[in-house]
Amino acid sequence: MARYLARACPNCHDYLGVIIPAEPQDPGTDIRVDARCLTCGYTLDWKISRGKKPLTSALTRILPFLVILLFLAAPAFSWAEICPGSQVPKAELQKLDSALPIPLQDKLESEVAHLPWGFPGQTRLLYQREFIISYDPEHRVPVWVAYKLRAQDVVNRKRRNAFRTDPRLTPEETATCADYDEPIFDRGHIIPNATLNRSAAAQAYSFFLSNMAPQHDRFNRGIWAHFEGLVRDWALARGTVYVITGTVFDRNNDGEPDALNETEWMLPAKRVGIPSHFYKILFHAGATLESLAVMLPHINASPPNRNEFLRQHRVSIREIEKRTGLNFLPGLGPLSQDAIESIVAPDLWPTQ
């Protein structure tokens, strides 16, 4: 049975964030496991030995001391910087944000819900119950956001802007309100706020700047907003869809990720990278696993025939993997993974 073991992650030093798949069953047996920290995503190779006394007994003895150490070492909670124009009271946002990070068990449940076929690869993981962000602290935008969307989640709710920094990120990692205080780019949601209308809290979490990337206003309010609406329509039509959506940095269009020094940055601070493309990959688990992948060039325009523009930019999942360095279905067997990732969907999905 999978369990947790108290050991400090060498990257973020979280004592309670390492998952151990199993404990050796026979005394004197050693096993090696790949442990992954749920706080920062760091993976490490770890040998576990089982002697005459159960390892869990030793854990029981030392756990109180480790909890005290974790409490003393934990940084003080930092309130978010709330951007001008917020429509949610500061006290309400502080109450919501103080519930983060979510407990470890909720992180596990979020993984099972939103990434049933495995992690595409991750940098800085930011968990919500309704979605998971893999955040890029160098470009200061999401690498990807994964979420499960059910028909019952698609509801109406009045939009209340609440743009703010993510208190789980350091000042160096996060984009700031000032970074987006310029006339060219919108703060473009990667998971849209309207997709999270199921609760006021979920909608408010969508306004973290950790869920934003700079988007030309005509792109954000045109083809990207239309695409977001289609995803909700497909959830209504199919019952449940799984979505992985994110950013691409391939400015020279050579089919590979750009080096950091090739990035185009938002002015004047040059702290936030401007993606060259945005993508969405959708899955529907019916009799077979269906997929639809679309990668859009980040253009300063809104195509008049939006569905036709989306059709023209259907791609294989493998194409997005090459441009991002990610691996989207690691939990499938190699044959199934190759079959799904190598095809281009024949058309957009019907909405009825």
Query: Model confidence over 170-182: pLDDT tens digits?
Result: 999 999 999 999 9
Contacts by 83-86, CB closer than 8 A, 24 or more apart: 83/163, 83/164, 83/177, 83/180, 83/209, 84/177, 85/161, 85/163, 86/161, 86/162, 86/163, 86/164
Check residue 55 and give its pLDDT.
42
Mean pLDDT highest for which of 48-52, 204-208, 330-334?
A: 204-208
Tens of pLDDT, residue by residue over 61-91, are 555 554 444 444 444 457 899 999 999 999 9
Tens of pLDDT, residue by residue over 152-170, are 999 999 999 999 999 999 9
Dump the DSSP string for 22-67.
Answer: ---SSTT-EEEEEEEETTT--EEEEEEE--SS-HHHHHHHHHHHHH
Check residue 259 and give its pLDDT.
96
Query: Across all residues in the chain, what is the average pLDDT?
Result: 87
Indicate the pLDDT class of residue 253, thresholds 50, 70 and 90.
very high
Sign of CA dihedral 243, 244, 246, 252: negative
> Is residue 325 exposed (0-12), middle (13-18) or buried (19+ Cβ within 10 Å)?
exposed
Check residue 31 and give its pLDDT.
53
Nearest-CA neighbor of 325 among 38, 123, 116?
123
Nearest-CA neighbor of 325 among 211, 272, 249?
249
Average pLDDT over residues 29-40: 59
Structural domains of the chain, with CATH:
3-73 (no CATH), 90-341 (3.40.570.10)
Determine if the pTM surpasses 0.75: yes
**pLDDT at residue 15 greater than cutoff 90:** no
Check residue 352 and give its pLDDT.
84
Enumerate the β-bridge partners of residue 293.
281
Check residue 261 and give its pLDDT.
95
Average pLDDT over residues 312-321: 98
Tens of pLDDT, residue by residue over 117-154, are 999 987 899 999 999 999 999 999 999 999 999 999 99
In this predicted model, which residue has the larger pLDDT, 71 or 197? 197
**pLDDT at residue 112 greater than cutoff 50:** yes
In this predicted model, which residue has the larger pLDDT, 278 or 51? 278
The share of the chain scoring above pLDDT 70, in percent, equals 78
Asked whether the beta carbons of 121 and 327 are under 8 A apart, the reply is yes
Average pLDDT over residues 251-272: 96
Check residue 71 and give its pLDDT.
45
